[in-house]
Structure 1
């Protein structure tokens, strides 16, 4: 059995409308004697002329109106309408020549021509409106496409910005171990190579599983913990099993980096806590760390991590995220909520 697939829904819609209009007078005359000649003269003839005006404008002349031939559009339409009005009058004369003349006054010819002219302006207006709506829709689609390209370019820029920032922070951490703990420095380099492999493989994908992101965070926290002294305590509370939740890659790493950068003191006890909860499709990520702000002269990490994250969240999760930071009893708190699909 052969199935024909409709490749042009617009053609089908036009055909359906004209068929309905064509058979409308016959439907209204159902049950009584039908005068086909009268229907042709007073309805089908007008319908044919309306279709001619509509499609000449819809397919050809309207493009002149939206282009550089506006004057030609009006001149050709005036000639077309005048010709159809004249032709309709001549056809009426042929029809009426075989019929007895009706008594009574007829409306002036000028009035009839004027009303015919107004009627034929209707398909012209329809063709203009349809083409204008198409152009508006196409312009909107192009705008959406341009916005998407801009969005992807900006996101790609933010990713490229994030990776050197992450690498720079990790190298700073390893550099501090080289002199007094060379074995830890070697271990850190090995751990960093694993993290960089993750960055190379996952940062360019649109989404990764939350389980992969948690594994990456755990490895990074282990790497950063190698340089800490005994007075600094790091606590993590991440879910061990998460299923069917996917997020944009590297969303949490900037917060973790920031906690290690500003939450560690060489002389004072320090605490850093990381907690993640998953409730249905919502992710709640919280960090709290002792607050030891860096001096303005300290440019380690260049300070772009959290700003980068805020921009990414605005682009990737508009109206589907919350991000708040505040101080509480000497602890710097970051709270982040994501609504995933």
Structure 2
């Protein structure tokens, strides 16, 4: 910010130096009368600078933006009228030789007094309008930056909320699964608790970032699938396939876990054979993730999950990958299919 302020001040100084040098730049190689340049150019330019900065630093903020237009116009009319009078007074009292020469020239071909006043008014209007334009542009840029910052803050807040919402959802579902193992297989329950602690450590300490390596996410998913397989019976077959090589892809964390949770929640039966097929493939920078499982709808009073999984992932995708994802779920011949494509570039 300090650097930008220095650049702005330097720019203003350079502009005014250029303007004050204009008579000599435009008449390079010709003789210039200092008094004439002072009276006809530099003094009006000083008045223009006063009009510009008075409006830029005071009047626009105090009157123009608050829409006190009558007061704003009145003050500027008084200032311009005062400078017109002051310019004539200075010329009449300090630059008599220029006045006499101008009177002789005006008899022959010079502009009338009214036309001269009109031109001077226009010359004072220019810095006024210029100050309004610059100040309005800066105000718009600041408002736009604040709007983007507010939108970005809202986005991060929503994502953080969804992230924190997912953690207890995941934790409670996993605890329910482990609880079912306590009486059936205490040793497996112990192993599951140990595995769950590793998964929770990953969720708590490694996923509080915008992007994470896809290989880390895959490792997390594999561990979760192995944890879930401990609970299901021999009648359930779980197949999964993930990229074996490092893809170099980075992705938002915890986007796929809800789909896997959903498959184990709705795709497993205690009495019937069931199959869950999980596949992830990567082509260039696009991730394709598909889960196909048997459909065993849960009863309304089933509390094995909170029901926030799929809405959560859809909302996160909208916020993280707008127009860069394709997510759809279909029911085909008693098989529930979830397909997610994400462009990560």
Q: TM-score, normalised by structure 1?
A: 0.89
- Cα pair distance change 1:204/1:105, threshold 3 Å: closer
Runs (5+) with no aligned partner, structure 2: none
Give the counterpart of 2:294 among 280, 290, 299: 290
Deviation at 1:165, TM superposition (A): 0.9
Further displaced range: 137-146 or 215-224 = 137-146
Aligned residue in 1 for 2:129: 125
Per-residue deviation, residues 290-315 of structure 1 (Å, max 9, x unmatched): 12222233232121101001111111
Aligned residue in 2 for 1:241: 245
Per-residue deviation, residues 225-253 of structure 1 (Å, max 9, x unmatched): 01222221111111123253322221110
Distance 1:185 1:107 in 2: 101
Give the total of aligned pairs: 337
Distance 1:157 1:6 in 2: 36
Deviation at 1:67, TM superposition (A): 4.3
2:168 partner SS: helix
Taking the TM superposition and a 5 Å limit, the aligned residue runs for 1:198-237 are 198-237=202-241
2:279 partner SS: strand
Distance 2:212 2:72 in 1: 56
Distance 2:131 2:85 in 1: 23
Deviation at 1:122, TM superposition (A): 1.9
Distance 2:16 2:282 in 1: 58
Distance 2:275 2:42 in 1: 87
Aligned residue in 1 for 2:18: 20
Aligned residue in 2 for 1:60: 58
Deviation at 1:105, TM superposition (A): 7.2
Further displaced range: 17-26 or 279-288 = 17-26
1:175 and 2:179 correspond: yes
Taking the TM superposition and a 5 Å limit, the aligned residue runs for 1:1-341 are 8-65=6-63, 66-67=65-66, 72-93=71-92, 94-97=94-97, 99-100=100-101, 101-102=103-104, 103-104=107-108, 107-341=111-345
Distance 1:310 1:326 in 2: 15
Further displaced range: 221-230 or 293-302 = 293-302
Deviation at 1:178, TM superposition (A): 2.5
- Cα pair distance change 1:332/1:139, threshold 3 Å: same
Q: Is this contact kept in 2: 1:64–1:70, CA < 8 A? A: no
Q: Is this contact kept in 1: 2:317–2:325, CA < 8 A? A: yes
Q: TM-score, normalised by structure 2?
A: 0.88
Q: Is this contact kept in 1: 2:247–2:282, CA < 8 A? A: no
2:195 partner SS: helix
Deviation at 1:261, TM superposition (A): 0.9
Deviation at 1:207, TM superposition (A): 2.6
Per-residue deviation, residues 58-93 of structure 1 (Å, max 9, x unmatched): 122222113486555444322221121012212333
Distance 1:141 1:89 in 2: 46
Distance 2:122 2:5 in 1: 35
Distance 1:214 1:164 in 2: 21
Runs (5+) with no aligned partner, structure 1: none
Per-residue deviation, residues 244-266 of structure 1 (Å, max 9, x unmatched): 33222211100110111111122
1:336 partner SS: strand
Further displaced range: 326-335 or 99-108 = 99-108
Further displaced range: 304-313 or 327-336 = 327-336
The structure carrying a bigger helix percent of its residues is: 2
